Amino acid sequence: MLKYLNDIESEKYISVETYRENGNPVRTPVWFTIKDNQIFVVTRDQTGKVKRLKNNTQVKIATCTIRGEIKGKWISGIAEILDGEKTRDAIKRRDKKYGFFSKMARFLTKSKGELLAFSIKIS
């Protein structure tokens, strides 16, 4: 697990596969950071992936391009939606990694609700 996290840390995008109530997978390319052997993703609370995570915390991840084309192997994990302080920490790390683009994304996505973060533990 640690080797996998070290291998992907310099990547810009991972695809997060979440699941609809009927079990159908939905893949979404996202920005991410890594801390304490966990992956952190910042998003908005009204997005589809957050709604799906509330029903099923099982996920799969793989490195990908900005368009979601898979570059690496799929790894299973468990997602957890984070509280306010952990979300703020994840936002700071995302802003540091992605810089100006992170601030631009925050502005462009504000119609999707409040900022929220979730962590992924590789299983």
Report the domain count for the chain.
Answer: 1
**DSSP E strand stretches across 6-106:** 14-19, 25-30, 33-35, 38-44, 58-63, 75-81
Q: How confident is the model at residue 3, as a pLDDT?
A: 87
Which residues of the chain carry a pLDDT beneath 70? none
What's the predicted TM-score (pTM) here? 0.93
Give me the residue label for tokens 């990694």. 97
> How does pLDDT run across 69-85, given as a tens digit for each residue?
999 999 999 999 999 99
Show the domain range for 46.
2-122
- Domain containing residue 112: CATH number: 2.30.110.10
